[in-house]
């Protein structure tokens, strides 16, 4: 199947007789997106954001990069669905780009975001190394798509909030004052950890470290939730327990990207995640969504929903 971003339906059976051409990375079997035939670009709207890719003559690098591309394409598709402006750093200083780099020979390289540049270590695509790091940092969840959603959250904080006094005030009322020293806050977090009662107001332990990280973690979870519900909607998933338990009964009958009220979305997500977590447990694998969403976290998620909603309605 071929993918045409933000098209209804987005899947195209084949290109024969059509007006499309494959992305250049299709030849490497890492991309199935297409462009219009008369588009001067050779890379699709996802691959165009790559600034750096690893040395592909190294087969290990290639396989890891392929996994990163799968996650990145899903991210770009979702940002397009959200109606967010995606500027490319190659042509705009305020734009976005990705550096997929190997840590080999340079131990100072880190996954992170700085001024629109999202750097991801290709080692993160190694499931064994990623699991070791997950345990090291006592995380319930660590995935490539999670990394990308978190880091792009930092980028959109700069784009959507930083220079808007009203939105900045709303942000601070929910997440705290971002002017608190970031470096000191991270040092304190890694030294002492999260407060005992962190789950009351935060989606993760790391979110307690600084308002910027709380925002990025919450943003990532907003994207998780929207993608889960959209996927369930696409496949016509309903949750109807044999024993009638109203709290975990739901029908996913709408595209979440068209829904104005976040409460409607979260009311779908809770029983949906309960059901898919139960399926995973039946197979002895980790929960799909091992997180508790409290009222305080819902208010933060709602803020993000209202912030991005005007871009797609």
pLDDT in tens, 101-128: 988 767 778 899 999 999 999 998 988 8
Percent of the chain scoring above 70 in pLDDT = 93
Average pLDDT rounded to a whole number, residues 202-222 = 97
Where does residue 74 rank: exposed (0-12), middle (13-18), buried (19+ CB within 10 A)? middle
Model pLDDT, residue 30: 96
pLDDT exceeds 60 at position 193: yes
Kindly report which listed range (6-10, 67-71, 264-268, 271-275) carries the lowest average pLDDT score.
6-10
Considering only residues 140 and 85, tell me which one the structure prediction assigns the higher pLDDT: 85
Model pLDDT, residue 218: 98
Model pLDDT, residue 1: 54
Q: Residue 121 pairs with which residues in a beta bridge?
A: 101
Radius of gyration of the chain, Cα coordinates, nearest whole angstrom: 20
Model pLDDT, residue 312: 75
Model pLDDT, residue 134: 79
Model pLDDT, residue 17: 53
Average pLDDT rounded to a whole number, residues 88-113 = 90
Q: Are 50 and 68 in contact (CB under 8 A)?
A: no
Q: 10 Å Cβ neighbour count for 125?
A: 24
pTM summary value: 0.92
The token pair at 101 is 């780099």
Considering only residues 133 and 160, tell me which one the structure prediction assigns the higher pLDDT: 160
Average pLDDT rounded to a whole number, residues 127-135 = 81
C-alpha to C-alpha distances, 274 to 248, 253, 280, nearest whole angstrom: 7, 18, 10
Band (32; pLDDT cuts 50, 70, 90)? very high
pLDDT exceeds 70 at position 166: yes
């Amino acid at each position: 199947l071929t993918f045409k971003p933000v098209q209804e339906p987005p899947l195209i059976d084949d290109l024969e007789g059509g007006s499309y051409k494959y992305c250049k990375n299709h030849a490497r079997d890492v991309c199935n997106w297409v462009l219009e035939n008369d588009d001067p670009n050779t890379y699709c709207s996802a691959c165009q954001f790559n600034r750096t890719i690893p040395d592909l003559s190294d087969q290990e690098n290639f396989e890891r990069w392929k996994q990163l591309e799968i996650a990145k394409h899903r991210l770009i598709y979702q940002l397009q669905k959200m109606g967010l402006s995606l500027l490319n750093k190659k042509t705009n200083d305020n734009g976005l780009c990705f550096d997929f780099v190997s840590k080999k020979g340079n131990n100072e390289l880190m996954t992170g975001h700085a001024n629109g540049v999202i750097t991801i270590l290709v080692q993160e695509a190694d499931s064994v190394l990623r699991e070791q790091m997950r345990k090291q940092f006592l995380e319930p969840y660590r995935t490539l798509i999670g990394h990308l959603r978190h880091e792009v959250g930092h980028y959109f904080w700069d784009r959507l909030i930083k220079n808007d006094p009203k939105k900045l005030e709303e942000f601070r009322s929910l997440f705290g004052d971002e002017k608190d020293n970031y470096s000191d806050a991270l040092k304190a977090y890694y030294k002492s950890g999260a407060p005992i009662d962190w789950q009351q107001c935060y989606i993760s332990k790391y979110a307690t470290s600084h308002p910027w990280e709380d925002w990025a973690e919450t943003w990532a979870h907003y994207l998780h939730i929207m993608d889960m519900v959209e996927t369930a909607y696409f496949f016509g998933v309903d949750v109807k327990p044999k024993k009638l338990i109203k709290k975990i009964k739901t029908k996913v009958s709408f595209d979440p990207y068209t829904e104005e009220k976040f409460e409607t979305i979260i009311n779908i997500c809770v029983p949906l995640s309960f059901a898919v977590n139960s399926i995973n447990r039946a197979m002895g694998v980790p929960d799909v969504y091992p997180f508790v969403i409290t009222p305080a976290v819902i208010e933060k998620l709602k803020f993000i929903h209202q912030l991005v909603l005007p871009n797609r309605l």
